[in-house]
Amino acid sequence: MRKTGLYLYSKFERFWHWTQMLLVTLMVITGFEVHGSFKLLGYENSVRIHSASAWTFMGLALLSIFWMFVTRQYVNFIPSRANLKEQINYYMSGIFKGEVHPIRKSLFNKLNPLQKLVYFGLLIFIFPVQIFTGIAYMYYHYPQNPIDAKGFEIAVYTHTLGAFMVVAFIIVHVYMITTGNTIATNLRAMISGYEKEEDHEPKVENKENQENNIVNESNEA
């Protein structure tokens, strides 16, 4: 694959992204089978796969948190109100008129304001809730703790609600992948690490763009 444009996604980021995608997909499929929504792998197999995927996901999460702070990439996930209105207007109308994206990406500004809000919510709220309720689901079963059956029931329903929210995010995420310069631009970027630059200057210029936009492959994390 030809490597041109801005080098935004390191080898670790791409490994993290695709591994996380695989684990989340496995947890969604097996989780809904455990819930009784359909039959595919069998209840016992789904429980084992779901548990193994969940523990692997938690290990990957700890590794990625360490990586984010070492490389300062955590700044990409801090919500900001700057250019939020422009981004909303772009998604509501500009994107359908072929207008240039209002936010220019850089190494420390990979997500637009709306994406930052969504990912912040996933990392700070939804994923932690899923982890804690999932652990309760696995290790605090009703037969062993009949006195606290109500609390267990709350954990189960909360975990299921979180699963539906994750599924909603996946659907939106897959759609957003297709909204680049071409239908496959964003997908190629997460495979090669390089993202094609806009043909024209965006309307809004962020102060983060003062960072170096082009990073040599030798500097990969």
Domain ranges of the chain: 6-216
β-sheet bridge partners, residue 109 = 106
The yes or no reply on domain 6-216 and CATH 1.10.8.590 is no
* pLDDT one digit per residue (tens) for the chain, 221 residues: 455 678 999 999 999 999 999 999 999 999 999 888 888 999 899 999 999 999 999 999 999 999 999 999 999 999 988 889 999 999 999 888 888 888 888 889 999 999 999 999 999 999 999 999 888 877 766 556 555 666 678 888 899 999 999 999 999 999 999 988 888 889 999 999 998 765 444 444 444 443 444 444 444 44
User: Where do we find the tokens 């791409």?
Assistant: 14
CB atoms within 10 A of CB 112: 23
- 100: helix, coil or strand? coil
pLDDT for the residue 38: 87
Report how far residue 40's alpha carbon sits from residue 38's, in angstroms, rounded to the nearest whole number. 7
